[in-house]
Amino acid sequence: MMKDLEMRQVYTKIILELAEKDPNVLALEADLASSMGTSKLKEQLGKRYINVGIMEAEEMGAAAGLAVTGFVPFIHTFAPFATRRSFDQVFLSLGYAQNHAVIVGTDPGVTAEMNGGTHMPFEDIALMRVIPKNNIYEVSDPYQFKAVLEYAHTAQGLFYIRTIRKQAKPLYSGNEDFSKGYHKLKYGTEGTIFASGIMVEEALQAAEGLEKQGISVQVIDLFRIKPMNEDIVIEAAKLGPIVTAENHNVIGGLGSSVAEIVAENHPVKMKRIGVKEQFGQVGKMEYLKEVYGLKAVDISKAMVELLN
């Protein structure tokens, strides 16, 4: 079942399904077939699977050329290389040229774990947000990943999808409507926690802990970071304080996006949980979450401070 698949297995499965229906679908890889499990794609897609090697800028340029000729390229590499390393090619050849392409950046933030600081992007969303008309998603669940990949295939324009490679805790049943760019996972009356990716689970734990203290907050998986659904953010601002939680720098990501909407439409007290003025480092994910203040306890503390 979909809920039992690792996120990389979801990626391979959905790309194969799309490619069977659409001969223009192809996959580009940057020498990470073993890491992402895309060797199966090579077997099934033949010439529609292209491994460019460790040349991510070339990967984006090749994808742009293929998009111009009518193909729909799905591009994978680790998140820092899909953004930092190849930003100019993504900006000009894909964004500025208005090509339809789907970039999947894996191992974001602390999920890079033992690959350390060079492979640990806390700034990828910030970079991708400044590309005009770019669509940005951070998926938290296999069913959600499936839905976003399928939508990115049929829509037009540039997409950046941020995801872990390994197992994600199932949050959905597969029957949800993800078209609005958010999903409310818990209802509450006193405040809102917006989260994305691995921080959704932390947000739910925080809300459960707050409930035991007699504090009722809602948890919303705000997985479409651009274009962000302004209506749900404004609705949350009218309810009460807002805490955002992201596996990313507090500058330029989910928290910044929410803060911009709040400031311009309905100012309310809010706090951003995320990485503050720090680079990445080697470590296991749970340890790194504590180091960077990305745990449920950090979210709970922030909400309590806002409500007092």
SS3 label, residue 121: coil
Q: How far is CA 9 from CA 32, 37, 217, 306, in A?
A: 14, 7, 34, 40
Domain ranges across the chain:
2-163, 183-307
CB 243 within 8 A of CB 270: yes
Position 26 scores a pLDDT of: 96
Tell me the CATH number of domain 183-307, given options 3.40.1350.10, 3.30.413.10, 1.10.260.40, 3.40.50.920: 3.40.50.920
Position 208 scores a pLDDT of: 97
SS3 label, residue 93: helix
Position 42 scores a pLDDT of: 86
Position 3 scores a pLDDT of: 85
Quick one: which of 295, 297, 228, 230 has its CA closest to 266?
230
Q: How far is CA 80 from CA 104, 109, 195, in A?
A: 11, 9, 21
Tens digit of pLDDT per residue, the chain (308 long)?
A: 788 899 999 999 999 999 999 999 999 999 998 899 898 888 889 999 999 999 999 999 999 999 999 999 999 999 999 999 999 999 999 999 999 999 999 999 999 999 999 999 999 999 999 999 999 999 999 999 999 999 999 999 999 999 999 999 899 999 999 999 999 999 999 999 999 999 999 999 999 999 999 999 999 999 999 999 999 999 999 999 999 999 999 999 999 999 999 999 999 999 999 999 999 999 999 999 999 999 999 999 999 999 99
CB 118 within 8 A of CB 79: no
Report how far residue 32's alpha carbon sits from residue 41's, in angstroms, rounded to the nearest whole number.
12
**Residue 230 structure tokens:** 């302004």
CB 204 within 8 A of CB 175: no
**Residue 99 structure tokens:** 């090509």
9: left (phi over 0), alpha (psi -120 to 50) or beta: alpha
Are the folds of 2-163 and 183-307 the same?
yes
SS3 label, residue 79: helix
SS3 label, residue 159: strand
Position 266 scores a pLDDT of: 98
CB 137 within 8 A of CB 161: yes
Superfamily holding 2-163: Thiamin diphosphate (ThDP)-binding fold, Pyr/PP domains (3.40.50.970)
CB 223 within 8 A of CB 144: yes
